Amino acid sequence: MPHLILVYLAAFLFCTGLLIVVIKRNAIMVLLGIELMFNAANLNLVAFNRINGPNLDGHIFALFVIIIAVCEAAVGLALILRIYRYYQSSTPDQFSELKG
Amino acid sequence: MCIALLAPLGGFLVTWLMPGQAVRLATGTMAISFLAALWLAITTWNTVTHVTLPWFTAGTEVLTLDFAIDNRSLLMLVVVSFISLMVHIYSAVYMRGDTGFARYYAMLGFFTFSMQGIVVTDNLLLLFVFWELVGFSSYALIGHWHTKRSAGAAATKAFLLNRIGDIGFLIGLMIVWRTQGTFTLTDALSFPITSGWQTAAALCLFGGVIGKSAQFPLFTWLPDAMEGPTPVSALIHAATMVAAGVFLLIKIFPLFTETALVVVAVTGMITSLIGALAAMSQYDLKRILAYSTMSQLGLMILALGMGVVDGAFLHLLTHAFFKACLFLAAGIVIHALAHAQQPHFDFDAQDVRNMGGLRKMLPTAFVAFLLGGASLAGIPFFSGFLSKEAMLVALFTHASALSWLMIVVVLSVSFLTVLYTYRMIALVFLGEPRTVKTINVHEVETGMRIPTLILAACSLWLIVSWNPFDFKGWMHHTGHAGPHELWLTIISVLWVFAALFLARMIFGKRTPETNSLLRNAFYIDTAYSALAEKFTQVNERVTSFTEQRIIDQTLHGIVYFQVIIAHITGWVDKHIVDGIVNGTVRVTGWTGRAARSIQGGNVQLYIFWAIFTIIIFIIWALN
Amino acid sequence: MSFVDAIFLFFAGLSAMAAIAIVFSKNVFRSALWLLVCLLSLAGLYVLSTAEFLAVAQILIYAGGILVILLFGIMLTTRISGKPLVVEHRHILSGALTAVALFVLLSLYLPGLTVEKNMLSPEPVSTLGLQLFSQYSLVFEIAGVLLLVALIGAAVIASELKSKT
């Protein structure tokens, strides 16, 4: 039963993260949403590890997900800073030079 | 037979091609034709020759050229070619120096060919062809001096009136074809047909006869036809062409019912009376003769209407001779007077009021006139008397109410004939010269005198039979030798002498003025001209009205319609067609913009679309 | 319901509510703090799933590291755009629909997973350590290298050398 709740929660958090990414007009908020999605995936992994035996594959996977999330957040933030300096704005709508 | 028929045609063609030798060629071919006709007559007398040649096919019907030569055709062949030959010889002198000399002879040959054609054919359609050819030749010859306006007008009038008669002929042809199924006369006449159609056919064909033989009401062309050269008048309008109508009537006589015959007789009666009365009052020499011809033709038609076929035919033959003789003699007078007036023409050479006392200066003509005139008047010892006798006797033996009326008419006409003949001779030859006193008239050449005298000789009684009082001879066939015959002869002789006496009393000394009503032949001609003019005017008004109102209105309507169509098309083009194009463009642009907005440059939108697609993919993949 | 279950439900509900609060908050700073709450409640959930090491790592790294970085970013970049720290929303409807659709989809297949065997690990930390350095040692090394590269890259990107602008 808790396993099911956890999986549902993970799905919910994932969708919420997606919502944040799509809706918010601030680049930092986009990063926030991405972080939330990472955490949702982590929760999913841990939830399934509860079922699948005493080996800790899920935990280790989640650990590495954290590491990668760190990398991504660092690089993303650097990029945002850079873009912020260029555009003098942090609204993703304004970063439309690649407009088709 | 072919020689007799085709020799004149050959003459026509040859003269056309070689105008230099016109006289010799034409006369030569005509002589050949006459001899051939004579030979044919002698060899095939009292037999009937039939020749049938295939002509053409119309659908399933095969039409043939039929020729039937019986006694009457033979007689006509001989007479026509003989008189034509005389005219050819005569014209050599009369028309000398004329500019259309070769053309004249060519047309003479052509005319003779056409006339022979009428005489020998047995097929109504073929006869119609020749009928028209004769009419055409007459037109060409009347208008021979085409520079004279009156000649052209006269030729046109002749042709037109002939044509009107031919309408009747055509309708008659159609009726015959419809009821009998064939044009061949010998076949057509042997089938019985219902009397209504028979009367109609007979009367329609009689219409053609009225036109060609100058009967009432289509006679007004004959006096005007005197505009042609006198030899032409002699050949065509005295002896042959006008006789063609009578000949046709004789040929189709079995077709006529009682009612048709009555119509024929009445027509002939009216014509002969009008002709005789008019001839009494003419001033122009040739016109006297023309009206006289008309009157005599009326007599023949009248006789035919009363069923006297043989008598009419006999009169046809004798009339041919003496009338041709009279015309040629008149030609002598006119020619002499015209020549004597040269180089300047002071007076009309044809007006009898200018003549008088010419018996001393032109004896040949005087003799010819005497002989021919006597025959015309019906004086005993002449052929005319015998033929009139034949008619009278036959009428008498007929003995119906109508025939008594006709006898009265015939007697009156012959009385008038004597009167006007005497008048004519008296005015021209007897008495003292009037205007001709001023010129020197001398006798004409032999070339003109001989044919005239030959024809004058043919006016004697010998042509008909040996007995000057008996008309039954080799020309005449039936014999009603009734007991009344002799006293009828005596009465007619007395009648003629009485008329002579009266004539001498009236015309002997003075030159009376004539009644203008009679002179203008009861103004019938004038009435015709006025009618034709009126008709043309009405026609013109109707046509111009139609053209203006109807045709122009139609054109206007069409134009307006076109303009309206053009406007509608323009509107459609501008709004609908262009509208479609513009609409398509707008839709495309909108679609493009919508599609383009996906790539808005907004990262979040990209993410959104990606997730959207993933959702769809999940739905699809997991279903 | 036992105490464990209650705590479990408490942390689960807290994380869900925090996530929703992030969505509805108009202040960037506040959203970041709500994220902190969410992360901490997730750590609690990890503890209840006998993943203590993970929970601690999460708190240390996420809450201590990433969130601080994010706050730095927020402070550095929200100066100029009118009112500071205020966020507007866009594409609300399409985004909401998409999220809901995705949630519905994901949850359609979940009831099939009602197998309930509870295989919690007895000694998670030592087992984790042993596995990490024997079975997954290569991955560990690669992860270290990745960290190094990422940090150097971030430093390079964010640097303000005058020659390249």
Query: Are B30 and B12 a contacting pair, CB within 8 Å?
Result: no
Inside any domain, residue A79:
yes
B195-204, B247-256, C54-63, C152-161, range with greatest mean pLDDT: C54-63
Query: Are B85 and B27 a contacting pair, CB within 8 Å?
Result: yes
Q: What average pLDDT does range B160-187 have in this prediction?
A: 78
List of residues 6+ apart from B597 with CB closer than 8 A? none
**E strand map for B506-568:** none
Q: What average pLDDT does range C106-119 have in this prediction?
A: 70
* Among the ranges given (A21-25, B213-217, B274-278, C9-13), the one the predictor scored with the smallest mean pLDDT: B213-217
Report the alpha-carbon distance of residue B202 to residue B209 in Å, rounded: 11
Report the alpha-carbon distance of residue B155 to residue B601 in Å, rounded: 107
Query: Are B428 and B332 a contacting pair, CB within 8 Å?
Result: no
Report the alpha-carbon distance of residue A10 to residue C45 in Å, rounded: 11
CA distance A26 to chain B (A): 10
Residue-level pLDDT at B171: 86
Inside any domain, residue A99:
no
Inside any domain, residue A58:
yes
User: A-contacting residues of B 563-602, CB under 8 Å?
Assistant: 596, 598-602
Higher confidence at residue A80 or residue B55? A80
Query: Count of CB contacts below 8 A, A vs B?
Result: 31
Inside any domain, residue A97:
no
The single residue listed with the structure tokens 């398509």 is: B584
B78-91 pLDDT, tens digit each: 788 788 888 888 88
B208-212, B263-267, B457-461, B613-617, range with greatest mean pLDDT: B613-617
Inside any domain, residue A96:
no
Kind and range of the H or E element at B40?
helix B22-43
B459-516 pLDDT, tens digit each: 676 655 555 555 555 555 444 444 456 666 677 777 777 777 777 776 655 555 556 5
B503-519 pLDDT, tens digit each: 777 665 555 555 655 55
When CB atoms are compared, the residue of B604, B614, B618 closest to C91 is: B604
- What is the token pair recorded at B239? 């002896």
* Among the ranges given (B9-13, B52-56, B543-547), the one the predictor scored with the smallest mean pLDDT: B9-13
- What is the token pair recorded at B201? 């056919």
Interface contact flag, C146 A9, Cβ < 8 Å: no
When CB atoms are compared, the residue of C94, C98, C105 closest to B618 is: C105
List C89's β-bridge partners, or say none. Answer: A24
Range of the domain at A21: 2-87
Report the alpha-carbon distance of residue B312 to residue B87 in Å, rounded: 24
Q: What average pLDDT does range B130-140 have in this prediction?
A: 84
Closest CA to B162 of B241, B231, B247: B241
Q: At C149, is the pLDDT very low, low, confident or very high (cuts 50, 70, 90)?
A: very high
CATH number, domain of A21, equals 1.10.287.3510
Residue-level pLDDT at B243: 77
Long-range contacts of C60-65 (CB under 8 A, 24+ apart): C61/A66, C61/A70, C62/A35, C62/A39, C62/A66, C62/A69, C63/C36, C63/C39, C65/A70
Inside any domain, residue A67:
yes
HEC string of B118-158 equals HHHECEHHHHHHHHHHHHHHHHHHHCCCCCCHHHHHHHHHH
Residue-level pLDDT at B323: 85
Inside any domain, residue A10:
yes
Report the alpha-carbon distance of residue B119 to residue B166 in Å, rounded: 18
Query: Are B434 and B353 a contacting pair, CB within 8 Å?
Result: yes
Provide CATH code, domain C1-90.
Answer: 1.20.120.1200
Q: Where are the alpha helices (DSSP H) in B236-362?
A: 241-251, 258-279, 285-305, 309-341
At residue B4, does pLDDT exceed 90? no
Mean pLDDT score of chain A: 87
Query: Are B305 and B261 a contacting pair, CB within 8 Å?
Result: yes
- Cα atoms found within 13 Å of the Cα of residue C15, Cβ hemisphere only: 30
Query: Are B432 and B356 a contacting pair, CB within 8 Å?
Result: yes
- What is the token pair recorded at B87? 């005219």
Q: What average pLDDT does range A29-48 have in this prediction?
A: 93
First to last CA, chain C: 61
Residue-level pLDDT at B482: 45
- Which residues of chain C make contact with B605, given a CB cutoff of 8 A? 91
Mean pLDDT score of chain B: 75
- What is the token pair recorded at C128? 């984790």
Burial B133-166 (b: 16+ CB within 10 A, else e): bbbbbbbbbbbbbeeeeebbebbebbbbbbeebb
Closest chain A CA to residue C125: A56
At residue B260, does pLDDT exceed 60? yes
Query: Are B164 and B211 a contacting pair, CB within 8 Å?
Result: yes
Judged by DSSP in three states, B95 sits in coil
Closest chain C CA to residue B613: C98
Count up the domains in chain A and report the number: 1
Interface contact flag, B600 A99, Cβ < 8 Å: yes
Interface contact flag, B601 A100, Cβ < 8 Å: yes
The single residue listed with the structure tokens 């927020």 is: C74
Helices (H) and strands (E) in chain A, counts: 3, 0
Inside any domain, residue A95:
no
Query: Which DSSP state fits B191?
Result: S
Q: At B128, is the pLDDT very low, low, confident or very high (cuts 50, 70, 90)?
A: confident
List of residues 6+ apart from A38 with CB closer than 8 A? A65, A66, A69
For an interface test with A, the pick among C81, C151, C152 (most A C-beta atoms closer than 10 Å) comes out as C81
pTM: 0.59
Domain boundaries, chain C: 1-90, 122-165
B77-81, B117-121, B519-523, C31-35, range with greatest mean pLDDT: C31-35
Higher confidence at residue B459 or residue B110? B110
